[in-house]
Amino acid sequence: MSSARPLAPSALTGIALAVAAVACFATLDTTTKLAAATVPLLMALWFRYCFQALMTTAVMLPQRGWSIWRTRRPGLQMLRGVLLLASSSLSFLSLKYLPVAEFTAIVSLTPLLITFMAAVVLRERVSLLRWLLVVGGFTGALIIIRPGHDQFSWYTLLPLSVLATNTCFQLLTSRLVRTEDPLTMHLYTGWVGMLISALALPWVWQSLSLVEWGWLCIMGLAGAAGHFMLILAYGRAPVATLGPYLYAQIGFAVIGGWIVFAHTPDIWSLLGMCVIAACGAAGAWLTLREHRSLRTAVLKPIES
């Protein structure tokens, strides 16, 4: 009779870091919505990436030296940075018009969309259960968006564009991580985003109040800290183990929207969020189970 193995201390640390990371991302989205009301989009984007680039360089350069810049795929590193910048731009625009919780829930469909892309584009075999989870997740998104509803707005579709660019970013990341240092990847995304968004600064720059600068600083700190903690989490636990816990970001987004904007999702939006979180977490659990089964199958001949 087999029993579930207890998680190793390193895996528990990884889970804690992952939960802290998504709390930072929810803070980033909440402060982004605050800043988007008065700060030009491209100016806020530049500051967010400037903070990440300078903070990462200041921390890693003394430890690793110039070797931190070494990469075998400079072109793909640049493309990854452009994809993340596009995703961030669309996220900023979405948060200007949409509640944080609903936006977060729709973007959380990324792992399910990756499953769909793997089946349709890469021709990978996908089980019936995974197809049901994909359909369930997108049903949850439709419950939140509710096309044809009196309160429906075309702005509600903006997170779907974020979902598309973020999926491409994640697929490229999964390819690069096989040969590239994750910290080098993080460094390149920060600098690519900062340098490209800096091109627009002469046309969008404006003087800001201390409060607005404060929101931008919180944005930069939350984004950089969240990415650092997620990298540390992946170094301590497999992606499949951490997957279900990443959906805690939806809960943090609901709390942030309630505290800062006094926004409470209606019953239909809450239902959609629960459906998306349940399907996403079930997909991550299924991946973990498949990895464990594969590992057992490989180890059995060795042990016999």
- Could you report the per-residue pLDDT of 21-65, keeping only the tens digit for each? 889 999 999 998 888 888 888 898 899 899 888 988 888 888 888
pLDDT at res. 152: 58
Give the residue-averaged pLDDT of 102-115.
81
| Torsion angle (degrees, nearest 10) of CA 252, 216, 52, 229 | -20
Distances (CA, A) of 207 to 52, 198, 256: 22, 16, 27
Per-residue buried b or exposed e for 103-138, using 16+ beta carbons within 10 Å of the residue's own CB: bbbbbbbbbbbbbbbebeeeeeeeeeebeebbebbb
pLDDT exceeds 50 at position 110 = yes
- Whole-angstrom Cα distance, residue 46 to residue 41? 9
pLDDT at res. 148: 55
Least confident of 51-55, 121-125, 222-226, 241-245: 121-125
More confident position, 280 or 238: 280
Gyration radius of the chain's alpha carbons: 20
- Whole-angstrom Cα distance, residue 22 to residue 27? 8
Counting every residue, how long is the chain?
A: 304
pLDDT digits (tens, 9 = 90+) for 163-206: 888 888 877 887 787 788 888 888 898 899 999 999 989 998 98
Helix (H, G, I), strand (E, B) or coil at 72: coil
Counting residues of the chain whose pLDDT is more than 70, the rounded percentage is 86
The amino acid occupying position 162 is V
Band (pLDDT 50/70/90 cuts) for residue 299 is very low
Contacts 24+ apart (CB under 8 A), 153-157: 153/97, 155/94, 155/97, 155/98, 156/98, 156/102
Band (pLDDT 50/70/90 cuts) for residue 1 is very low
CA-based torsion, 247, 276, 151, 36: positive or negative: positive
Give the residue-averaged pLDDT of 132-136.
84
pLDDT exceeds 60 at position 302 = no
pLDDT digits (tens, 9 = 90+) for 254-282: 888 888 888 888 888 889 888 888 888 88
pTM over 0.85: no
Shortest CA distance to 80 belongs to which of 171, 178, 161?
171
pLDDT at res. 121: 67
Helical packing angle, 128-145 and 267-303, nearest 10°: 160
